[in-house]
A and B are shown apart, each in its own frame.
Chain A
Amino acid sequence: MIDFEVFVQQVITGLSNGMIIALIAIGYTMVYGIIELINFAHGDVFMLGAFFALTLLGALGMEAWGPGGQTIGVIAMLIGSALFCGSLNWTLDRLAYRPLRGSSKLSLLVSAIGCSFICMNLGLFWGGVPMEVFAGGVASAAPKDFPAIIPQTNLLGGAFIRITPAEVLVFAVTIPLMVALTLMVKRTRLGCAMRAVAQDQTAAALMGIPVDRVIGATFFIGGALGGFASVIYALYNNTIGFQMGTRAGLDAFTAAVLGGIGSLPGAVLGGLTIGLVRSMSDQYLETRWTNTIVFCILVLILIFRPSGLLGSTRKEKV
């Protein structure tokens, strides 16, 4: 019996972690889909979103609010971080990527790597802000505790299997977001314009689509998703640090590629796959081999499906 419970628990954990990875991966995949840039700075924008949320939490003193107030607080953090990360990502595009539109993909990539380092350093500074939530800012590089205003208690009482409100939150926020995003890309004018720009920038421009603005909007939306993800991540894991963007970004990038880069459902599927593989490997193999297992599975999948699980098989543009 306990074996089965352990398995169920691992599925729950894997899916929760996978959902967060997926949400970050969507930000990657949207940007990639439209300008073929592996946006290395995305993970660090996500990291700054978490610092923004913690600042908001500290400045408004949310820890002292009642449960009802804290729900509003969570919504405020979600919206605040989304706007913050969206604007930041848009600004990075404006300052560091747009001037390079005509250049090679690789110089764009290096610009993104540079932005990633800059954002990381901003996170280091941010951790030194003398606020109580940053432990007075004394040890700016140390990991920061993110108060568990969404409790981590078991909704199932004393059972072995645990489902916590924080886990419920992960699903309650990410699934509607993904649905909304898919609808936006499929149904709205902006979504249509985004798909057009992704297909062929020149043709889109000739049809009167303001290409730069559409790309800017994509960066904003991708960043905003990173912002949502950062709040969910922070409330689920309760620790943030200035270097967390690197790993989160790597996982999300892997998920995006695994699912088929450029594909929204692919990013979600990729994220969930990675989350589940991690859980299962932690449980049934050894934790120290988990990363190796994830990447071996990635290689295997790509050997048999060279464009990822749900990627389109169109030839690369020559």
Chain B
Amino acid sequence: MSISRSILVSLALLPLAAPAWGQAADAPKGTLKIVSSLPRTGSANAQTSTIVNGIKLAIDEVGGTVDGWTITYQDMDDASPQRGNWDPAVEAQNANTAARDESIVAYIGTFNSGAAKVAIPILNRAGLVMVSPANTYPGLTKPGLGEANEPMAYRKSGTINYFRVVPTDDLQGVQAANWAKDLAVTKVFILHDRELYGKGIADVFKKQAEKQGIEVVGFEGIDSKAANYRSLVTKLKATQPDLVYFGGTTQSNAGQVAKDLRSGGFEGKYMVPDGCFEQAFIESAGAENLNDRTYITFGGLPPEKLTGKGAEFCSSYKTKYSADPEAYAAYGYECARVILQAIAKAETKDRASILAAVAGTRDFDGVLGRWSFDANGDTSSQVMSGQIVHDGKFEFSKVLGN
């Protein structure tokens, strides 16, 4: 570390470090840096802002210090203005920057599974732990669900360095289809946004729906930038489904689909995955288009059902940001807390022991439930919840699975 840099860093840290001196009487042992790499430019900004809020909240809660070490956080952007979306070259640059900078001990990200494919191998070589708040593509961790070479292609060093706190598509899609069965759906029309996340979850939903004896009357990939989907609604209405499932997110136009379903005269139910579990979905769709007909699955319990740690998180998030925490806020917060706990547990504060500590996370008391990381680096939490929209708000409906 060059002299100029250490001066810069310590100057930046002065306000954070001050309270620690008061409590611990001795000077901080050093600085550990956590970074996140998320698309901050463009349309994903709305979701990633809540992730960053969650991370900052978790770090603030421990007063910016763990075990006498000062924790700093940097919010990196993996999108570029010329792309308006995540940019693989920028993601690689972020990952390489993090790999080079020895003071960085954890990498939170990515938002898009495609970006994770670029970042994981780089960080794997550097032995840097990576925890994702949003990637749901199963092949990143689960053998047999992606391509033949996955996930081994991401683990060239032999150590697993990639973890995620979100349930993968193969779980959520199955639970969603089971829920549809419970709702007495007999015919479903499936839409997806042709993205990795949306298509992945729609594929799983389709398979499970067929297994459950639900007739799949259509399966279509939409253009998420289209102005409206009225033609498609006319087409699907003629097949008379009771449920339309949309694998997609608020960004990929879930709100517009809801509007066109209603204005196109479709009377049945509408189900979406956790990419839509945010207030922005209701606001962009218009509450009147969703009320009492919209079903949302989410990989955890919603804020108001949380007890203990989760309830605490909700109230402190509300105090700090004067807004209710949303799905991604909880995921971001959970990532940061897992890392902070691992730093506390690690014997020496280097990458290898922090990585080992993250991998050793067991019975973690988090906002998404009590869970452990399994051998693949996935959360063991199988708790999923179903929400409905009532009176312009998400309302907990039931616990899915189990």
Task: Mark A residues whose CB is within 8 Å of B.
Answer: 2, 6, 9-10, 13-14, 16-17, 20, 117, 120, 135, 138-145, 147-148, 152, 154, 160, 162, 164, 166, 233, 236-239, 241-244, 246-248, 278-279, 282-283, 286-288, 290-291
Contacts and interface: CB of A to CB of B under 8 A. Distances in A.
B46 A140 contact: yes
B285 A145 contact: yes
Given A243-B42, A247-B226, A248-B227, A142 B232 contact: no
A152 B46 CA distance: 28
Nearest to A121: B81
A144 B227 contact: no
A141 B228 contact: no
A141 B42 contact: yes
A27 B231 CA distance: 26
A154 B253 CA distance: 24
A237 B279 contact: no
11 contacts: A13-B234, A17-B230, A143-B250, A145-B283, A239-B256, A243-B84, A244-B227, A282-B232, A283-B231, A283-B234, A288-B221
Nearest to A284: B235
B265 interface: yes
What range describes how many residues of B lie at the interface?
35 or more
A282 B231 contact: yes
Nearest to A240: B284
B187 interface: no
Interface of B: 42-46, 49, 81, 84, 194, 220-223, 225-228, 230-232, 234-235, 237-238, 250-251, 253, 255-256, 259, 262-265, 278-280, 283-286, 323
B287 to A, nearest CB: 9
Contacts of B264: 162
Contact of A142 (B231, B234, B280): B280
B43 A17 contact: no
A279 B231 contact: yes
B256 A237 contact: yes
A13 B230 contact: yes
Contacts of A148: 263, 286
Nearest to A8: B234
B231 A14 contact: yes
Given A117-B81, A290-B223, A291-B223, A141 B45 contact: yes
Contacts of A13: 230-231, 234
A237 B194 CA distance: 21
Given A140-B45, A154-B265, A287 B255 contact: no
Q: Residue among A140, A162, A286 with the most chain B CB within 10 A?
A: A162
A303 to B, nearest CB: 25
Contact of B232 (A144, A152, A162, A287): A287
B269 to A, nearest CB: 19
Contacts of B222: 287-288
Contacts of B259: 152, 237-239
Contact of A287 (B221, B227, B253, B284): B221
A236 B46 CA distance: 25
Contacts of B43: 141-142, 241-243
Given A145-B284, A247-B226, A6 B234 contact: yes
A298 to B, nearest CB: 16
A143 B248 CA distance: 14
A139 B46 contact: yes
A282 B235 contact: yes
Contacts of B220: 286-288
B238 A247 contact: no
A8 to B, nearest CB: 10
Contacts of B283: 135, 139, 142, 144-145
A164 B227 contact: no
B221 to A, nearest CB: 4
A14 B44 CA distance: 30
A11 to B, nearest CB: 10
Given A248-B227, A286-B220, A152 B235 contact: no
Given A143-B256, A154-B265, A6 B235 contact: yes
A16 B228 CA distance: 11
B226 A10 contact: no
Given A142-B284, A145-B285, A288-B221, A239 B231 contact: no
Contacts of A120: 84
Contacts of B237: 160
A141 B44 contact: yes
Contacts of A9: 234
A237 B323 CA distance: 28
A120 B286 CA distance: 23
Contacts of B223: 287-288, 290-291
A238 B264 CA distance: 13
A154 B262 CA distance: 11
B156 to A, nearest CB: 35
A21 to B, nearest CB: 9
Given A143-B250, A147-B286, A152-B263, A246 B45 contact: no
Nearest to B45: A141
B265 A162 contact: yes
Contact of B286 (A17, A142, A145, A291): A145
B190 to A, nearest CB: 12
B225 A247 contact: yes
Nearest to B237: A160
Nearest to B235: A283
A159 to B, nearest CB: 9
Nearest to B199: A288
A162 B81 CA distance: 41
A244 B225 CA distance: 7
A138 B279 CA distance: 10
Contacts of B250: 142-143
B226 to A, nearest CB: 7
Nearest to A21: B227
Nearest to B281: A142
A239 B255 contact: yes
A206 B43 CA distance: 49
Nearest to A242: B43
B274 to A, nearest CB: 16
B194 A288 contact: yes
B188 to A, nearest CB: 17
Nearest to A20: B227
Nearest to B192: A288
